[in-house]
Structure 1
């Protein structure tokens, strides 16, 4: 799990996204959240910190237009 959050953090820090990248990132975060919820899994503090930094990166103001595009993509599916 640590590798997943670290890799996604690295990718989201590049700040050069398409709408599909945002949607894929959200799906990955959903899977990470499901893993965090498992009683047998104890996330490291780095995992948790990376998780929230990823969310922060995705919600940057610079991504507003891409989120609007992502909404349109989601509606069409």
Structure 2
């Protein structure tokens, strides 16, 4: 994608069916990040040293997002 606001790569993974859900622990809480109907949006800006990953549940609600820095 190359616009005035963003230059880089964006991927959207639509998860239609899984063998079993995947949860991660965040403090005391378990957060489901993969299940039927979930989506992962990943943004990789070309001129930055980070990427952003956002996980959505089957209702389109954000269940987790995080920023990964790279050298």
TM-score, structure 1 normalization: 0.22
Tell me: higher relative CO, structure 1 or 2? Use CA pairs within 8 A at least 6 residues apart.
1
Which one has the bigger helix percentage? 1
TM-score, structure 2 normalization: 0.23
Of structures 1 and 2, the larger Rg is shown by 2
